[in-house]
Chain A
Amino acid sequence: MEIPPPVLPPSAAPSLIEAAGLTKLYGDFPAVTDLSFSVRAGEVIGLVGPNGAGKTTTLRCLSGIIPPTRGSVQICGHTMGLDPIEAKRCLAFFPDEPRLFDYLTVAQHLTFTARIYNVAHYQETARGLLEELEIADKADKLPGELSRGMKQKLAIACGFLHAPRAIFFDEPLTGLDPLGIRRMKDSIVKRAAAGAAILISSHLLHLLEEVCSHVLILKDGRKIIDGTMDEVRQKFSEVSAGANLEEIFFRATGENKGP
């Protein structure tokens, strides 16, 4: 099945993820500097940048894992610094490595997550997610008995259980097989079409090109450019109209493309 091209949401859609002047220092080292952007419902933004650009730090600040040094974050209209519980209630963060509890089975992970997010009647949703992700027959298995891809699927099932409206992915395709990659892309597009705001950090530029409506390029913790793919192309006028994200990336970051 072909993935439908990303559809730009109407500009009236509410902004579900907002960063204003986001800055994160590790000691004296600025990991992210004065970053501002927003993601509206239905948008999928690709967060791109070379290693050490501050992508993961940005995602962790946005999802409330680490506090920003300066600036503010709003998730679904709730300010993370002032109302973190309501902000976290409507977000999901998927790190590059699935973080699971070794001693909980697949089913127990979902029971645990349901209680954490107070998801009433979660069983039906959980069953649907497990079936959609093709791990329904692994309900009694421990993470140690699952392959890397299946662990990733379990993490996704837990993350989607409370129907988040702001979703953050950090390298979502790591360890997935081709079918898993296809399903993940479908899932991202489907969630966006259902009104979620999605931010994906990845080095796989062709993936971002397929699923993202917007792109945000970071370098050394600073925003180089953001906007729709066409807007970004226009800003780099020397790149042809049909240039792909890889070419834009190398132009924008000044990285050497190599031989």
Chain B
Amino acid sequence: MGRALLYYEWHSRWNRLRARLRRLRQPKYLVGAVVGGLYFYWYVFGALRGRGRAGVTPPALAPEHWALVESLAALVLLVVLLLMWIIPHERAALMFTEAEVAFLFPAPVGRRTLIHFKLIKSQTAILFSALFMTLIGRWGGGHYLFHAIGWWGVLSIVNLHLLGSSFARTLLLERGISNWRRRLFFLGGAGLAAAGVFLWARRALPPPPDFLNARDLSAFTGYAGQLLQSGPLPWLLAPFRWAVAPLFAADAKTLCLALVPVLGIIALHYWWVIRSNVAFEEASVELSRKFADRVAAMRSGNWQAMSKPRKGKRPPFALGPLGWPAVAIFWKNLISAGQFFTGRAWFFLILVTVFAGGFTRSVSQHSGAGAALAILAVSLGVMSLLYGPAILRHDFRQDLRVADILKLYPMPGWQVVLGEVLAPVAILAGAQWVLLILAFLLCPAELGGAPAPLILRIAIALSAALVLPCVDFIALLLPNAAALIFPAWVQLGKDTPRGFETMGQQLILMFGQILVLTLTMLPAGLAGVAAYLIAGWLLGKLMAVAVVSGALAAALVLAAEAAVGVRLLGSVFERFDWSEGSPE
């Protein structure tokens, strides 16, 4: 039976690979594969070859910080494993596809074989995850191979513990111990441990540094080092430190020594999982059915199925039956974005921001912490321009799979486009305004050594508040245009495509969007600068008015560009033939 399962696993993966290779016959995938392959080579193999020549590269972290980072990693692992006992409430269930349930569950296959099958299957995902984490997590220095082995150990332990804890939770439920009693037990235990550490630190360690007025991180790292590396915590964290130790191995000998306890922990977990006599079949069938429903829903257009809402969300505003239909799409997409995007929630957020900003300004007048926070808020605002349109996808990228339904609506195309794009724009602009309020409240009276009177700061904040939504609109219009014009190249919903070829396609699209965004910003920038200079020349010292004039001119140009974009995209949508552009 084991061989049949291996046969199934091997051929499933092989056939999937062949299907992906076959689609390279299409130019769009071939071009994507070339670009994706080059990027991967440059990012990964280039770095690996560099490391190979240099041998073991010096660690990116200073050696004195290694022990601290190792202890922190152990603490994170402890918290992750603890949460497995606190958060879940379901009975043990192994995830099988519906086909696996249909073929394997009625077949003469023992429960232990099914667990082995799942463990072997999970190893593929673990190996890929370990590789991925190794490639992105070069923070600790050390050899790539050591990192990969270290991640494999950590992820294998987490996977086995997840399975074992789910079996144990089911056993507890069968013995009449409810979820809440179990949670209370573990939370109580964690609370007692935390209290013990707190009391010890209070008695044995010097007082913690002043967090608000600290000028650098050394005070924090010193205190955290003392807390994690002396007293009771090292004992509590010992097994977790063993588990993460290979990640920090500097040479092969250290790695081999560190792997011994890791393999021991894995073996113990394996024994625990295999010995657990828990019925998981019924819950697994249910889980598989739900998963299949979600996949089917996603394929038919309901991308939200991945994070299926449990209950209805409050509408952001009351939608009347008469008026612009575009508002209905805006309203719908705001609901899909979540409970948080209501007027009331934004009002409270702004209120909290104002109070928090005012309080921070009053307590950090001499430390520079306020100014640092203002810079952070501005940086986040700038980053939101880059990442916001990729993260906020409550627009065509969500709805294009139900394009047939959108096309049924008696609306001109430009109204559909406007309604689709408005929700992410509103959310992004709202978040940026909150950051702007925070930056304004914490902004020092000097900017770059020059005095910045209140009126100028107000003018800059108002100008930014005016321009940002227009920039957001165009920045969000571009991925929507890409979705309509190149539907097969865009990730629609959360049905993430895989492989070099799709990575390459996304890279090409990303660079294209950045290029177009830059080009659309140019006329607005020129108009803004011209208006600023003219107003400055006319008004003399009223610099604040000149700033607002420049922003107004830039915003008007951007708004005009956006209006043209919406019209053009509207006509694209009206001609859009989903049957010709549906992705494979």
List residues of chain A with CB under 8 Å of any chain B CB: 26, 57, 60, 63-67, 84-89, 91, 93, 95, 97, 99-105, 108, 111-112, 114-122, 140-142, 144
Contacts and interface: CB of A to CB of B under 8 A. Distances in A.
B313 interface: yes
Contacts of B412: 85
Contacts of A116: 325, 328, 409-411
Nearest to B331: A112
A143 to B, nearest CB: 8
Interface in B275-306: 297, 300-302, 304-305
A156 to B, nearest CB: 14
B574 interface: yes
A82 B301 CA distance: 29
A66 B579 contact: yes
A91 B304 CA distance: 28
A103 B408 contact: no
A65 B331 CA distance: 23
A202 B290 CA distance: 28
B332 A104 contact: yes
A162 B580 CA distance: 30
B322 A118 contact: yes
Given A66-B577, A116-B328, A102 B308 contact: yes
A118 B323 contact: yes
Contacts of A141: 312
Contact of A88 (B300, B308, B331, B408): B408
Interface string B557-584: 0000000000000000011011110000
Contacts of B574: 84
A86 B410 contact: yes
A95 B332 contact: no
6 contacts: A66-B577, A85-B412, A112-B332, A116-B328, A122-B321, A140-B312
B309 A85 contact: no
A105 to B, nearest CB: 4
Nearest to A85: B410
A65 B332 contact: no
Contacts of B301: 99
A87 B412 CA distance: 12
Given A103-B313, A116-B410, A66 B325 contact: no
A99 B328 contact: no
Contacts of B308: 102, 144
A245 to B, nearest CB: 29
Contact of A103 (B309, B405, B577): B309
Nearest to A117: B410
Contacts of B506: none
B336 interface: yes
Interface string B314-354: 01000111110101100110011000000000000000000
A93 B297 CA distance: 19
Contacts of A26: 579-580
B404 interface: yes
Taking residues whose C-beta sits less than 8 angstroms from the other chain, chain B's interface range is 35 or more
Given A26-B579, A97-B300, A114 B321 contact: yes
A77 to B, nearest CB: 15
B408 A65 contact: yes
Contacts of A140: 312
A10 to B, nearest CB: 29
A230 B336 CA distance: 51
Nearest to A121: B321
Q: Which of A85, A102, A111, A112: most chain B CB closer than 10 A?
A: A102
Nearest to B321: A114
Interface in B388-406: 402, 404-405
A89 B404 CA distance: 15
Contacts of B315: 108, 111
A102 B302 contact: yes
B18 interface: no
Nearest to B293: A144
Contact of A64 (B313, B328, B402, B408): B408
B183 interface: no
A112 B321 contact: no
B407 interface: yes
B408 A115 contact: no
Given A88-B409, A102-B302, A118-B322, A95 B404 contact: yes
A99 B299 CA distance: 12
Contacts of A121: 321
B311 interface: yes
Contacts of A114: 321
Contact of A118 (B311, B321, B408): B321
A217 to B, nearest CB: 23
Q: Which of A84, A118, A144 has its CB near the most chain B CB atoms (within 10 A)?
A: A144
User: Most chain-B CB neighbours within 10 Å: which of A99, A111, A116?
Assistant: A116
A116 B416 CA distance: 10
A60 B327 CA distance: 26
Contacts of B411: 85, 116
Nearest to A27: B580
Contacts of B312: 104-105, 108, 140-142
A115 B410 contact: no
Given A26-B580, A101-B336, A104-B312, 17 more contacts: A65-B404, A65-B578, A67-B575, A93-B408, A95-B404, A99-B402, A100-B302, A101-B402, A111-B319, A112-B328, A115-B328, A115-B331, A118-B325, A120-B321, A142-B309, A142-B311, A144-B305
With a 10 A CB-CB cut-off, give which of B301, B402, B407 has the most chain A CB atoms: B407
A35 B319 CA distance: 41
A119 B297 CA distance: 29
A66 B336 CA distance: 26
Given A26-B580, A118-B322, A103 B407 contact: no
A102 B305 contact: yes
A91 B410 CA distance: 9
A141 B402 CA distance: 21
A103 B321 CA distance: 20
Contacts of B327: 115
A157 to B, nearest CB: 15
Nearest to B312: A105
B336 A103 contact: yes
Contacts of B578: 65-66
A60 B323 CA distance: 27
Nearest to A168: B408
Nearest to B407: A65
The 4 closest A-B pairs by CB, nearest first: A115-B328, A105-B312, A88-B410, A114-B321
A167 to B, nearest CB: 12
